[in-house]
Structure 1
Amino acid sequence: MKRLAARLWRLIRGPLQWRVLWLSHAKFMIGVTGIVRDADGNVLLLRHRMWREGHQWGLPTGYARKGEPFEDTVVREVREETGLDVRVGELARLRSGYRLRAEVAYEARFTGGTLRIDPFEILEARWFPPDALPEGLQESHRLLVERKSG
């Protein structure tokens, strides 16, 4: 049976192979997070309107659009949520195991712009020293901030 499957696979080639793979595998949303730091090492945190009360502080976060490189998602989300510009650095985390979501986080460096929050999504945006993070910060985001600063 495996030999027959291998022969059929080689026969269908190209776009049809990709279509079969697409139909037979799970589809995921990709959550992308930016760990944005300024020149002094402070980290940008946002108080998110849509997040659970008491746990609203977190890093700039959003979902990748279809076909969008994850680094571009970080740049777009930070700009949409805060008006700030960033340069994306190293991959900090890649995590799966969620129901229909995978998560990606990148280090990012603040490069300019004027802070203007998107009031629909964001209640507040502030720079925090890594050793003085606010109450109500998502624990997974706290761990991301502390991975470089400790």
Structure 2
Amino acid sequence: MANSRSPADVHTLSNCSRRAIEYKLQTIENCSCLRTDYSGPVNSTYLPSHFLNKTDTCTLKHENYTFCNKPGTKNNEAYVIGCSIACCEIGTNNTPVILAPDGTKSDKCQLCLSGKCAKETVTSSSSGAEPVVVNESLS
């Protein structure tokens, strides 16, 4: 019965939804992440419709924004929590939660950032407060 888990919060995109997201990302040049207006904990029931209409305000080439692993701390790689990525505005303590462009919630989440995909692997945190996530490049 391996690989038969089916969590209640898994959302499988239809082909139509996938095409809509792919088109949206193609129209945003140099897109690295899609910012939401939400800065609280990750909600496991997000659907693609929650971020398709959000404005892209976070790219690695945008001097005012960067990936971060905690408020105000710049990071070269995305900090991932349950299929979302954290992004912060340089010089502030704001850490908006950014949804992964594919919008999926599953054990095999694909995080596609600027055309690069990563496989998410969650391990236990020493503090137990939040998961530690390691991105393994698939390229």
Say whether the fold is shared (TM-score over 0.5).
Answer: no
Q: Structure 1 or 2: larger strand share?
A: 1
Question: Greater relative contact order: 1 or 2 (C-alpha under 8 angstroms, separation 6 or more)?
Answer: 1
Q: TM-score, normalised by structure 2?
A: 0.28
Q: Which has the higher helix share?
A: 1
* Largest Rg, 1 or 2: 1
TM-score by structure 1 length?
Answer: 0.26
